[in-house]
Structure 1
Amino acid sequence: MILVVNAGSSSIKFKLFDISNSSNPISKVEGLAERISVDGRLTIEIEGEKHEFNNQMNDHLDAVQLILNKFTELKVIEKPEDIKGIGFRIVHGGDKVVKPVEITDEIKKTIEENIRLAPLHNPGALTSINAFEKSLPNAKLVGCFDTSYHQTMPEVNYMYTVPYEWYSKYQVRKYGFHGISYEYIAFKAQEIFNKKQENLNLIVCHLGNGASVCAIKNGKSFNTTMGLTPLAGLMMGTRSGDIDPSIIQYISKETGKDLFEITDILNKQSGLQGISEISSDMRDVIEQSTKGNDKASLAVELYTQIVADFIVKFANQINDKIDGIIFTAGIGENAALIREKITQKSNLLGLVIDSQLNEEKYSDYLNISSKESKISILKVRTNEELMICNETLKFL
C-alpha cells in the first residue's frame, strides 16, 4: 500500500492506494482527520461507504495513530507495516526542490525554511511528516512539492520588476502552485494527444476555489499566474488575484487597518465572495446570476474575462502551435457556463466550444471543441493523489 497525505494545520486528508499491480495503482479508501487539537473528527470512506469517528486528537501524532488503528479495525490493512510508502503533498519547496524527493533531515529543513513563504501550509506538512515518521519508521517518505514543477520557468517569466536585491537577498520571485495537478495533466496529455510530453504545448486552467493558469511549453512549465504566494494571478473563490499594490496603502489610510489585516481580506474576503457578496462557491454565484443578481453576474463576467486574458497572453508567450486548452479542477471540470464564457472571450485564438459536448458527462477527459475551433479544447479530471502515488512508487 501507498498512503497519499495532504495535511493542514488542523487536518490530514488522505488516500490509500493498493500497489499490488504497480502499473495500475487502485484506490478504494480515502478520508479526512479534522479538527485536530480541538475535538477531533475522522471520516474514512471505503468504496463509497462512510465510517465516522469522533475521537479527541491532541495533535497530528494522535491523528496518525487513530487513522492507522481504524485502518486495521476496518480491515483496510492487516497491519500498519503494509503501508510501504507515504507520499506528501507539500506546498512550498522554494527554488531548491525541482522534483519529488525522498524526505530526509535536509528536506525537512528546506520545508521549515520555506514556512516564511507558505505560513499556512508548510507547518502542517512538516508536523504530519514527523508524525508518520514516528508511527511508521520503516515506510519510505516522499515529498511532492506544488512549486517544483514550475522551476523550469525561464528567468524572464519568474522575476518581478522590483529591486534585484529583493530576489538575491529575500528570494522574492514567482514560484507558482498547483504544480502536481499540472504535472498530472501534462502526463495525461501524452495519452490524449498521442504525443511525447516534450512535444506538447498546452494552456491549462486549474480552476477551483484556488485557481491558476499554466503555460506548458515542450512539456514543461513555461509560465503561470500564481506568484510568490497563491494570492497572485486570477480572481478566485476568496482571493483577489492581481491588483494595484497601492490599494493596500490607500485602504490602510482610509480605514486604519494594517497591512496584515488588509492582506488577510485579500486572501479570505475577496474574489467571488468579495464581488458577489453571496458566496465563494461558483455554483452559488452562477445560480444567483441566472436569477438576475447584478453583483453575481459581474463576478462571473470578471472571473471569465481575467482567465481569458491570461490564456491569450500565454498563447502569445508560447509562440508555437498549441495542442490544447485544458480545463481542470472543480470549476474547470464541472462549470459548463464558465468554460463557454472563457473561450468566447479569448477572441484572438478562434476557440469554439461544442455546446452539447460542453454539457456532456464524462469520467476522465472529453474533447469539447467544435470542428470550427482553431485549437482543441478539453475538460480533464485532474488526479493529484495518483500523481503523488506514482512518484512515491518510483522510490520503492
Structure 2
Amino acid sequence: MILVVNAGSSSIKFKLFNIKDIKNPISTLDGLAERISVDGKLTIEINGEKHVFESEMKDHLEAVKLILSKFTELKVIGKPEDIKGIGFRVVHGGDKIVKTVELTNDIKKTIEDNIRLAPLHNPGALTSINAFQASLPNAKLVGCFDTSYHQTMPEINYMYTTPYKWYTDYKVRKYGFHGISYEYIVYKAQEIFNKKQDKLNLIVCHLGNGGSICAIKNGKSYNTTMGLTPLAGLMMGTRSGDIDPSIIQYISKETGKDIYEITDILNKQSGLQGVSEVSSDMRDVIAAAEKGNKKASLAVELYTQIVADFIVKFANQINDKIDGIIFTAGVGENAGVIREKVTQKCGLLDLNIDSNLNDEKYSDYLVISSAKSKMPILKVRTNEELMICNQTLKFL
C-alpha cells in the first residue's frame, strides 16, 4: 500500500493506493480529516460509500492515529505496517529542491526554512510528515513539491525587475506552483502524442479555484504564471492575479488598511468573487452571467481574456511547434464555455474548438479542436495523487 497525503494547518487529505501491479496502482479509498485541534471530523470514502467519524483530534498526531485505526477497522489494510510508502504534497521547496526526494532530516529542515515563502502551506505539511513518521517509523516518506518542476525555468523567466539584492538576500524570484499537476500532464502527454517527454512542447492551463498556466518546452517548465507566491498571474476564484503594485499603497492611503489587510483582500476577496460579487465558484458566476448579471459577465470576460493573453505570450516564448494546448483542473476540465471563450480570444494562434467535442463527456482526455485549428486543443483530467504515488514507488 502507498498513502498519498496533502495536509494543511488543520486538515489532512489522503488517498490510499493498492500496488498489486506496479504499472497500474489502484485507488482503494480517499478521505479527509478536518477541523483538527477544533472538534474533529474524519470522512473516509470507499467505493462511493462515505464513513463519517466525529472525534476530537487535538493535533495532527492524533488525527494520523485515528486515520490508521479506521483503515484497520474498515478492513482496507490488515495492519498499519502494510503501508510501505507515504507520498506528501509539499507546496514550497524553494530553489534547492528540484525533484521528488526522500524526506530526510535535511529535507525537512529545507521545508522549515521555506515557511517564510509559504507560511500558509509548509507548516501543515511539516507537522503531518512528523506525525506519520512517528506512527509509521518504517514507512518510506517521500516529498513531492509543487515548486520543484519549475526549477528548470531559465533565469530570464524567473527573475523579477526588482533590485538584484532582493534575489540574493531574500530569494525574491518566480517559483511557480501546480508543478505536480503539470508533471502528470506531461507524463500523460507522452501517451497522447506518442512522443518522448523531451520532445514535447505544450501550453497547459491548470484552471481551478486557483489557476496557473505553464509553458512546457522540451518536456520541461519554461515559464509559468504564478510567481513568488500563488497570488500572481491569472485572475482566480478569490485571488486577483497580476495588478499594478501601487494599488496596494493607494488603497492603504484611501482606506487606512495596512499592507497585510490589503494582501489578504487580494488573496481572499478578489478575482471572480471580487469582480462578480456573486461567487468564487466559476459555475455560479457563469450561471449568473447567463441570467444577465453584468458584473458576472464582466468577470467571465476578464478571466478568459487574461488566460488567452498568457497563452499567446507563452506560444511566442516557446517559439517552436506546439504539440497541444491543454485545459485541466476543475474549471479547465469541466467548463466548456470558458474553453471556448479563451480559444476565441487567442486570435493570433488561429485556434478553433469543435462545439460538440467541447461538450462531450470524457473520463481521461479528449481532443476538442476542429480540423480548422492550427494547434490541437485538449481537455485532460489531471491526477496529482497518482503522480505522487508513482513518484513514491520509485523510492521503494
TM-score greater than 0.5 by the shorter chain? yes
Q: Which residue of 1 aligns with 2:335?
A: 335
The one-letter amino acid of 1:143's match is G
Please name the residue that 1:218 is paired with: 218
Which residue identity does 2:86 align to in structure 1?
A: I
Report SS of the residue matched to 1:370.
Answer: coil
Q: Answer yes or no: is 1:364 the counterpart of 2:364.
A: yes
User: What is the CA distance between 1:249 and its match in structure 2?
Assistant: 0.1
3-state SS of the aligned residue for 1:395? coil
2:96 matched to 1:127? no
State the alpha-carbon separation in 1 of the partners of residues 171 and 64 from structure 2.
Answer: 34
- Report deviation, 1:31: 0.2
Q: Which deviations, in whole Å up to 9, do the C-alpha atoms of 1:217-264 show, x marking residues without a partner?
A: 000000000000000000000000000000000000000000000000
- Could you tell me how far 1:23 is from its partner in structure 2? 1.0
Q: The residue matched to 2:209 in structure 1 has which SS?
A: coil
SS at match of 2:379: strand
Residues 18-29 of structure 1: pairs in structure 2 closer than 5 A? 18-29=18-29
Residue 134 of structure 2 corresponds to residue 147 of structure 1? no
What does 1:47-126 correspond to in 2, within 5 Å? 47-126=47-126
Stretch moving more, 20-29 or 211-220: 20-29
Question: C-alpha distance in 1, partners of 2:229/2:371?
Answer: 39
The TM-score with structure 2 as length reference comes to 1.00
Q: Are 1:38 and 2:38 matched, yes or no?
A: yes
Listed as ranges, the matches of 1:200-215 within 5 Å are 200-215=200-215
Per-residue CA deviation, residues 192-217 of structure 1 (Å, 9 max, x unaligned), is 00000100000000000000000000
Tell me which residue corresponds to 2:296: 296
Q: CA deviation at 1:28?
A: 2.1
Q: Distance in 1 between matches of 2:20 and 2:95?
A: 35
**1:61 maps to amino acid:** L
Amino acid at match of 1:318: I
Deviations 1:85-106 (A, max 9, x none): 0000000000000000000000
Amino acid of the structure 1 residue aligned with 2:24: N
The alpha carbon displacement at 1:306 in A equals 0.1
The answer for the alignment partner of 2:308 in structure 1 is 308
Match of 2:267 in 1: 267
Give, in whole Å, the separation in 2 of the partners of 1:12 and 1:284: 27
Amino acid paired to 1:122: N
Cα drift, residue 79 of structure 1: 0.1
Specify the SS of the correspondent of 1:70: helix
Residue of structure 2 equivalent to 1:173: 173
**CA distance, structure 1, for counterparts of residue 29 and residue 83 of structure 2:** 13
Q: Which amino acid aligns with 1:357?
A: L
Q: Residue type matched to 2:310 in 1?
A: F
Q: Separation in 2 of the partners of 1:60 and 1:284?
A: 34
CA–CA separation in structure 1 for the residues paired with 2:151 and 2:158: 9
**What is the distance in 1 between the residues matched to 2:365 and 2:22?**
23
Give 1:241's aligned amino acid: G
Per-residue deviation, 1:47: 1.1
Q: Distance in 1 between matches of 2:151 and 2:207?
A: 21
The one-letter code matched in structure 2 to 1:303 is: Y
Aligned equivalents of 1:113, 1:340: Cα separation in 2 = 42
What is the CA–CA distance in structure 1 between the aligned matches of 2:45 and 2:346, rounded to whole Å? 41
| Distance in 1 of aligned mates of 2:19 and 2:170 | 42
Q: Which residue of 1 aligns with 2:282?
A: 282
Q: Distance in 2 between matches of 1:99 and 1:367?
A: 30
| Structure 1 unpaired stretches of 5+ | none
- Aligned match of 1:347: 347
What amino acid does structure 2 have at the position aligned with 1:206? H
What secondary structure, in the 3-state scheme, does the structure 2 residue paired with 1:28 have? strand
Quote the Cα distance in structure 2 between the aligned partners of 1:24 and 1:285.
38
SS in 1 for 2:394: helix
Question: 2: distance between equivalents of 1:286 and 1:298?
Answer: 10
Deviating beyond 3 angstroms after TM superposition, the runs of 4 or more aligned structure 1 residues are none
Partners of 1:370 and 1:233 lie apart in 2 by 29
- 1:389 is paired with a residue whose SS is helix
Counterpart secondary structure, 1:87: strand
